[in-house]
Structure 1
Amino acid sequence: MVWPTLSMVVAVYVARLIYHAYFSPLASIPGPFLNKISNLPLNYQLIRGQFHTYSVKLHAEYGEVVRIGYDHISLSSTSDTRMVLATHAFRKGRMYKEIGGNGCEPSMFATTLPEVNKARRRMLGDAFATHTMRAVENLVVDAGASALITAWDSEIAKQGQVARVNYYYAFHRMAVDVIGAVAFGSSFNILKTGNADIIDWLHDTAMVAAIRNLAPWLARKPWAFKKLKESRRKIEQITYDSIITRKKVVSETGLPPRIDVLQKCINAKDPETGQGLTPPQLESELILMLVAGSDTTGSTLTWIVMNLLHNPECYKRVTNEIRSTFPDTSQTIPYANAKTRLPYLSAVIYESMRITSPSATMLTRNICLSFGACHHNPRLWKNPGVFDPERFLGPDSTKRINDVLTFSTGVRVCIGRNLAMLDIFTALANILRRYDFKLPDDAPYGPHRLSPSGIPVEVPGLSYLVTGPVNPKNNCWVSISLA
């Protein structure tokens, strides 16, 4: 009886492969043959953190619509991607359920239910509106650009006229401090104290989410990844304590609370129903801001500085623009001035978000979206592998900016994009004015290391929830001195 049963299993399996390859509704969509019958090649690249490069290569070979798995297709057309994200018709995939797992209330990002997403956006939209960002700008600058300048000035004083600093760690510490200042009641003061335990906990928390996506059956085991899960619990406790502390201060003092993102979230009401966030929902949204908001901003700043260091002519032009426009170093450059009076800095930011997007991993729905592939589509971008901020200058700059999907688009556009850009613009404008940057002589990557096509070799990226450089401990050093 064993052999007939085994033969039947094999026959069913072979029939399934034949169906997926030749008779599935997706059979006519181009892609590698193995991908048509199995998700193994796709899952292998996801586990390696290389989906961003894998998708770009597949789209370069097979076109704008590619079958990347037996039940997955990927798009590299910005217009097609916008169509998918324009409505809730294309539901989010299992990945999001797993990210919001572990019995936690799903955040706005993790929920797969359109009605929940809509309600959260109605409740939280005011927390990230332009007028709120104007109100919290001083908090952002104090915990961000100003704190980073204080830390780097201290390093220069310690090391001499030139200091060697790791900008990856500096930017991630700054980004976490900024989220703390606006959404947790106070800065975590990592730049000041050097205590970066919370960053380790955040990375562990993000890793738990990635594992839930790639191996949910394993992540659910109580004995698996105990250290990572303990880090998640520590982040939950910090979040809970921040909410309780704010409510206690308001209750005991009777004074009006300061207006920041935390208070806006506590006070949030759905204008249609009058309902506010439950305690678990509030905690979930704040954790999302801390985990996703800090890592994306830190990685974005890292890639921008790296791209400038690898393209000296762009670095020289952007610093000349900033220093000639705002020569008085005793005055902090505010966001509105940086955004409106520094067009080349703006172009540098958008070009870096295009060529090395921090959100280049796979976003699953019924159709998979690859922002990295969209940003390297040769039909949309001439010489997509070249860092060229000039793309974002001139009469069609607004259209070009809209084609950069780092913050997503449509009904799922990142609600925190205004806060991220406030942090990014103020940090870059002020540090690029104050310091001269130079790659160390032992830098493994830079303008001295060119590809066969004559452009600087890009530092490899690692893409799970956020795309950052591989081995930042070695690849993200810079020598700084006062300008």
Structure 2
Amino acid sequence: QLVYHKVCSPLAQFPGPWYVGLGEFDLIYRLITGKSYMILHQRHLKYGPIMRIGVNAVSICDYQLAKQLVANPAFIKPSDLYEKVFEPFLPNIFTTCDSVFHKKRQRLLAPVFSWNSLYKVEDVIIESGVRPLMTKLHRLAPQTNQFVSFNLYWDFQGLAFDIIGRLAFGKSFNVLQTGDRTVLDWFNDYFVYTTITRVFSFLKGRSVPFIPALERGLHAHRSLLQLATQAVTIPKQDCQPPSDILQFMIDSADPETGEGLTTAELASESLVQLVAGTDTTSHALTWIVYALLSHPHNYQRLVDEVLTHFPLPSPAVVNYAEAKAKLPYLEAVIQESLRFYPPAPPAIYRIIPSEGVTINGYFVPGGKQIATPIYSVNHSPWQWDRPDEFRPERWLDGRKPSAELKKATLTFFSGPRGCLGRNLSMMELHLTMTNLVRQF
């Protein structure tokens, strides 16, 4: 069998390290290092835009080909990476591998994350996250010329959790105001658990005395599920339903069938917003700040733009529409940071349908997997001019339209399985960075 996978497999025709066709050892190694995205990128630079990365998988570092293939609903998600990892939860729009289910759920939830809906909850985002963050930073800021150190990433995590808590669970977790990181600890423990059980699937659901991370992960799952279940039942008792994403989901109905979400389905969708919409936002904000501080001239240009259009002291908080309309350089900084430091850099996997597919003249049968490494696509030398330079100006110089550049950036992916929360994320990034740069 090893000889077949190495010599006779349809994937043997693709370039790549000699050992990737010998078993899953390389995949396990990449997962354990925590640097899978960088390992794949270095290999793409060596072997080209299409290469073999496993017994049954090839990687494509070509956004046009990726969108043609991977964004096709006929190419489904591998269940071992989605449904089985998150199997304690009911199927939801993020984890499901069923294209019919996803299409139905997307019809129901897409209006919830439309710009029309998000503008209705912008004040909630400001009051639950942006304003508390500014208040905390002002409290930490020294009144003299002395320096003070603090973990800004933790504060960005608190902001993201407090916003999602208020929007998807009906109440803020108040991480920024109280410093209580209990829910964040559950979240982190559950992700450690899913990483371990993805590599060692036989440990799933087990409590092993010498691996305390397993017990913590199981406890975290139970706690998160209980939290979500309580959240989706409480708003129904209110005389005046709140204006938030949870209430939008409660009120939503499939335009074709008229069906809504059950309590269990609401809990699952709320949890997936916590999973998909907190670490990504906090990572993105942290990398934006890091990029600006690492490039002082970009930082100063952004400060000048913000203070020119919104001089202190009023308004107290700049809203999204104003920032979007008057701060093109901020938009460029955000887009370039999302390209340069994608908050979720690993590869996206899809299964080739039964009829197979031809890739660069080579036929690959159904059942094999295609991976699209987001970090590699965003740093591809075959698509980007000076890809390893942080250059927000590339989004403004006019040589390539901004819309075309966005298509080549797979941070939020695209197609029917693209990130449903991209609008919410962009609103959070604009609101936070505008007011952070303006006040500090």
Give the TM-score normalised by structure 1.
0.83
Alignment of 1:177 onto 2:162: yes
Deviation at 1:21, TM superposition (A): 1.6
Q: Following the alignment from structure 1 to structure 2, what is the Cα–Cα distance between the partners of residues 106 and 404?
A: 28
Instruction: String of CA shifts for 1:168-221, please: whole Å, max 9, x gaps.
Output: 101000000111121111221111111111111111122233233222221232
Summarize the alignment of residues 158-307 of structure 1 with structure 2, pairs less than 5 Å apart. 162-223=147-208, 225-249=214-238, 253=239, 255=240, 257-307=241-291
The answer as to whether partners of 2:235 and 2:242 remain within 8 angstroms in 1 is no
Alignment of 1:97 onto 2:100: no
Amino acid at match of 1:246: P
Deviation at 1:119, TM superposition (A): 1.0
- Judge which range, 55-64 or 92-101, deviates more: 92-101
Match of 1:425 in 2: 430
Match of 2:300 in 1: 316
Deviation at 1:158, TM superposition (A): 7.8
- Judge which range, 411-420 or 395-404, deviates more: 395-404
Q: Following the alignment from structure 1 to structure 2, what is the Cα–Cα distance between the partners of residues 362 and 418?
A: 22
Amino acid at match of 1:266: I
Q: Following the alignment from structure 1 to structure 2, what is the Cα–Cα distance between the partners of residues 300 and 273?
A: 37
Q: Following the alignment from structure 1 to structure 2, what is the Cα–Cα distance between the partners of residues 328 and 352?
A: 26
Deviation at 1:39, TM superposition (A): 2.4
Q: 1:383 to 1:320 in 2, by over 3 A?
A: same
Structure 1 stretches (4+) deviating beyond 3 angstroms? 157-163
Q: Following the alignment from structure 1 to structure 2, what is the Cα–Cα distance between the partners of residues 96 and 214?
A: 13
Amino acid at match of 2:83: K
Q: Following the alignment from structure 1 to structure 2, what is the Cα–Cα distance between the partners of residues 265 and 370?
A: 32
Amino acid at match of 1:293: G
Match of 1:156 in 2: 141
Match of 2:419 in 1: 414
The answer as to whether partners of 1:39 and 1:69 remain within 8 angstroms in 2 is yes
The answer as to whether partners of 1:65 and 1:73 remain within 8 angstroms in 2 is yes
Deviation at 1:43, TM superposition (A): 2.0
Count of residues in correspondence between the two structures: 414
Q: Following the alignment from structure 2 to structure 1, what is the Cα–Cα distance between the partners of residues 165 and 205?
A: 30
Alignment of 1:80 onto 2:65: yes
Match of 1:387 in 2: 390
Where 1:391 maps in the other structure, the secondary structure is helix
Q: Following the alignment from structure 2 to structure 1, what is the Cα–Cα distance between the partners of residues 292 and 8?
A: 49
Q: 1:72 to 1:409 in 2, by over 3 A?
A: same
Deviation at 1:375, TM superposition (A): 0.7
Q: 1:186 to 1:84 in 2, by over 3 A?
A: same
Deviation at 1:42, TM superposition (A): 2.4
The one of 338, 342, 350 equivalent to 2:335 is: 350
The answer as to whether partners of 1:85 and 1:412 remain within 8 angstroms in 2 is no
Match of 1:465 in 2: none
Q: Following the alignment from structure 1 to structure 2, what is the Cα–Cα distance between the partners of residues 42 and 191?
A: 38
Instruction: String of CA shifts for 1:306-350, please: whole Å, max 9, x gaps.
Output: 111111111111111111121133211111121221111111111
Amino acid at match of 2:237: K
Match of 1:472 in 2: none
The answer as to whether partners of 2:90 and 2:265 remain within 8 angstroms in 1 is yes
Q: Following the alignment from structure 2 to structure 1, what is the Cα–Cα distance between the partners of residues 243 and 294?
A: 41
Q: Following the alignment from structure 1 to structure 2, what is the Cα–Cα distance between the partners of residues 80 and 322?
A: 38
The RMSD of aligned alpha carbons is: 1.6
- Judge which range, 157-166 or 32-41, deviates more: 157-166
Q: Following the alignment from structure 1 to structure 2, what is the Cα–Cα distance between the partners of residues 194 and 260?
A: 24
Match of 1:452 in 2: none
Where 1:95 maps in the other structure, the secondary structure is coil
Alignment of 1:377 onto 2:377: no
Amino acid at match of 2:371: C
Match of 1:12 in 2: none
Identity among equivalent positions (%) equals 34
Q: 1:195 to 1:244 in 2, by over 3 A?
A: same
Q: 1:159 to 1:43 in 2, by over 3 A?
A: farther
Where 1:288 maps in the other structure, the secondary structure is helix
Q: Following the alignment from structure 1 to structure 2, what is the Cα–Cα distance between the partners of residues 204 and 285?
A: 20
Where 2:382 maps in the other structure, the secondary structure is coil
Q: Following the alignment from structure 2 to structure 1, what is the Cα–Cα distance between the partners of residues 287 and 337?
A: 7
Q: Following the alignment from structure 1 to structure 2, what is the Cα–Cα distance between the partners of residues 428 and 219?
A: 40
Amino acid at match of 1:430: N
